[in-house]
């Protein structure tokens, strides 16, 4: 861990961020494809009201297609406000869907997952 005392900003390495994520999602795993590292979160529990209640998801934590980060789901989620769902995209030998929602940069992996889960309930 690198601590910049002047700025009071704590920067975590990607490995430290992944360890933090695994405290919440112990089955999370990493794989690289076409130079991009993805994080698989099996049976991610979704916010209440979502259907299904849990689903496999994959996090792309780096810039791709103009999104700073993006959470992809194994299938479209219902029980939430209408979203611009895209067609199926291929990541690591599996088809995934997501919707258009911009995020900001500078978040840790755990913060990214929490942010994207939060947007499920947003309009």
Angstrom distance (rounded) from CA 27 to CA 5? 34
Element (H, E) at 23: helix 14-24
Q: Give the x/- contact pattern for another protein in 9-48, rule: CB under 8 A.
A: --------------------xxxxxxx----x--------
Give the nearest distance from C-beta 48 to another protein in angstroms: 28
Point out which span in 2-10, 47-55, 87-95, 108-116 binds another protein (CB under 8 A). Answer: 87-95
**Contact (CB, 8 A) for 99 and 86:** yes
Q: How far apart are CA 22 and CA 25, in angstroms?
A: 5
Query: Which residue ranges make up the site for another protein (CB under 8 A)?
Result: 29-35, 40, 63-67, 84, 86-93, 95, 100
């Amino acid at each position: 861990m690198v601590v910049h005392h002047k700025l009071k900003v704590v920067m975590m390495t990607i490995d430290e961020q992944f360890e933090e994520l695994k405290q919440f999602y112990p089955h999370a795993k990493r794989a690289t494809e076409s130079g991009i590292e993805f994080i698989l979160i099996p049976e991610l529990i979704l916010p209440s009201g979502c259907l299904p209640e849990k689903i496999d998801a994959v996090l792309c934590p780096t810039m791709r297609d103009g999104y700073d980060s993006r959470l992809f789901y194994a299938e479209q989620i219902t029980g939430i406000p209408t979203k611009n769902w895209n067609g199926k995209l291929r990541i690591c030998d599996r088809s995934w869907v997501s919707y258009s929602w911009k995020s900001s940069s500078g978040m840790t992996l755990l913060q990214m997952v929490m942010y994207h889960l939060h947007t499920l309930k947003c309009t």
